[in-house]
Amino acid sequence: MFSKILIANRGEIAVRIIKTCRRLGIATVVVYSEADADSMAVEMADETVFIGPAPAAQSYLVADKIVDACRQTGAEAVHPGFGFLSENAGFAKRLAAEGIVFIGPNPHAIEAMGDKIESKKFATRAGVSVVPGHVGEIDDTAHAIKISEDIGYPVMIKASAGGGGKGIRVAWNQKDVEEGFPAVRAEAKASFGDDRIFIEKFIESPRHIEIQVLGDKHGNVVHLFERECSIQRRNQKVIEEAPSPLLDETTRAAMGAQAVALAKAVNYDSAGTVEFVAGQDKSFFFLEMNTRLQVEHPVTELITGVDLVEQMIRSAYGEKLAFGQKDLKINGWAMESRIYAEDPYRGFLPSIGRLVRYSPPKEGEVDGGIVRNDAGVREGDEISMFYDPMISKLSTWGETRIAAIDVMGRALEDFHIEGLGQNIPFLAAVMDQARFRSGVLSTNYIKDEFPEGFVGVPPTDYQRDLMSAVACAMHRIVTARSAPQLVRDEWVVIAGQDKRNVRLSNGGHAFNVEMIETGRRYGLTDVEWRPGLRIFRARFDGKAFTVAVKPAAEGFVIRHRATTLHVLVLSPRSAELHGKLPPKKAADTSKQILSPMPGLVVTLDVVPGQTVRTGEQVAIVEAMKMQNIIRAERDGVVKAVGAKAGDSVAADEVLVEFG
């Protein structure tokens, strides 16, 4: 077995690889950029090598620097993780020429299947049904428009070397191609160092299902069943699960056999994923093959018990697979939620900054299920604008699909992050949705279920009762410390438009709660909270729960799953006076175009005095390798411009002001 492996990656996947290497007794080397100098991966590795500035094109994508790091440290092999150089055949060949083992498939397999253009050509020659499209290279925007019109709208513009949801746009008309093609090309160049683009027919309301394959250097290939990855936003996966609620045994076997056949045709000898687009009728078409480890590999590991990183290492070393297809079985169900640094309340725009608080849920066996959190960050770390916005991957396992969903819901409750926007409330909303729980999914799910964007979820009656009880308990605990003479049992609770009378008696770590108007009674027990804590844990009516809490100018802001309420606890007289206060007026920003996120201004396309029409592009702001086109929401004449190309801007910073 290898004695030392270099990990040519960063973040959670670098940490994930280190954990398996430690278990196998293999020393690790981690390369790092300026942005990652204090990262968890750097702290955990046995050796580290600095490879340059934060932009990936100057560090993680530079093959010479990776090779030099191997020479410096004596690393025998390189694990590329995912992204960066993981699907670069030239890099794999370079390592081979240097006598260094690439922990991934052979270069021929990468060239044949890893490149999205070449993989479609290969699949077509092999008789595999593929999505209609243009699989040759595209010269320029005019060529892209002609191809799109020949295929027929809508089409998907994709980076050939893309992955992780980057370098993808759906075009519904010529204007979308004119704007989307150069944007995709720019993203592809910045993220992958490869600006080749292809275009294919966009199939509406499909499901995204992928088959995990695993091969060795002795001709053996197996599949480890499927993953459902249909819950996507901007073509980036958000929630994955294994197995798929769509497939029956016959379809599963057919998809698995096709994936294995493709893998064997290129002598595939590592972990890889064959992706399919599937209809609700269980029809399926080959989409592409990712010749690397997938981000969502934990769900496959949870239902099969196979460590895919270990198998990649063993295969690269030349070992035979220790199991065959008949030895693999599906055990239970697994879910994965990607915790992203983004603000779901602002159109899911990237949110960068420091993790002021980072408290993940307890891992291991929980309530009959399993919780696993793959992360490469700690409290105090900074989420950089230079890399992917994923903070961690939260995975759960249960004996059934609903059990896995329920374990995930509770784990999301226990996940506490402060300092930047994050999508935990949104993920919790999906877990509670009847449609998601039914398994009726498609890649349009988020657009269908949240057509106006995410604004939170209205509270149920149970949640109103729970949050009222929590607010009263916190108010009583604070009052007992600061002014014990003012402690009382009956309060008026105002939460949004809801006003109610609540009786909360006893104290310590347990309270009796009564909603006076309805007569509903609860026990609030096992309370874990003291002033200053941002998490309140307890049992309500015997059921464990966790809410995020913070003091407001008046009362508390309380979030339970996807529901947030500003809750006031008042005496009857204070409640009467409160009702007479005039509402606060919101600031008028109708004559301003604000940056929707922190990032880098790529272009600012207007000047003072210019007339702008509704829908016209005024700027492009880039963050985390994604370019966001900002358009005018009204007609007007530009009065002032607040930034220029190359400037770094904060969220809500004024870009353009109209007269």
Active site residues: 288
Phi, psi of 59 (to 5 degrees): -140, -85
Radius of gyration, alpha carbons of the chain: 27
Query: Taking a C-beta distance cutoff of 8 angstroms, is the pair 53, 64 a contact?
Result: no
Q: What is the DSSP letter of 344?
A: G
Query: Taking a C-beta distance cutoff of 8 angstroms, is the pair 418, 534 a contact?
Result: yes
276's tokens: 């399919």
Residue of 53, 48, 41, 35 whose CA lies nearest to 81: 41
DSSP code string of 304-321: H---HHHHHHHHHHTPPP
Q: Give the alpha-carbon dihedral of 378, 379, 381, 384, to 10 degrees.
A: 90
Give the distance, in angstroms, between the CA of residue 523 and the centroid of all CA atoms in the same chain.
Answer: 37
Q: Which residue has the tokens 């090598």?
A: 49
- In one-letter notation, the amino acid at residue 186 is A
Buried b (16+ CB within 10 A) or exposed e, 378-415: eeebbbbbbbbbbbbbbbbbbeebebbbbbbbbbbbbb
- In one-letter notation, the amino acid at residue 203 is I
Query: Taking a C-beta distance cutoff of 8 angstroms, is the pair 586, 599 a contact?
Result: no
Query: Taking a C-beta distance cutoff of 8 angstroms, is the pair 28, 4 a contact?
Result: yes
Element (H, E) at 29: strand 27-32
Query: Taking a C-beta distance cutoff of 8 angstroms, is the pair 454, 345 a contact?
Result: yes
Decide: helix, strand or coil at residue 420: coil
Q: Which residue has the tokens 């009263």?
A: 472
Residue of 113, 58, 108, 53 whose CA lies nearest to 84: 58
Sheet holding 599-604, edge to edge: 626-631, 617-623, 599-604, 648-649
Quick one: CA dihedral 319, 325, 326, 329, positive or negative?
positive
**CA pair distance 125, 111, nearest whole angstrom:** 15
Give the distance, in angstroms, between the CA of residue 444 and the centroid of all CA atoms in the same chain.
Answer: 16
Query: Taking a C-beta distance cutoff of 8 angstroms, is the pair 403, 412 a contact?
Result: no
449's tokens: 């279920």
Q: What angle do CA 311, 78, 372 make, to 5 degrees?
A: 50
**CA pair distance 213, 195, nearest whole angstrom:** 28
Number of Cβ within 10 Å of residue 248's Cβ equals 10
Number of Cβ within 10 Å of residue 534's Cβ equals 15
Query: Taking a C-beta distance cutoff of 8 angstroms, is the pair 469, 522 a contact?
Result: yes
Asked, as a colleague might, if the bond just before 243 is cis with ω within 30 of 0, I would say yes
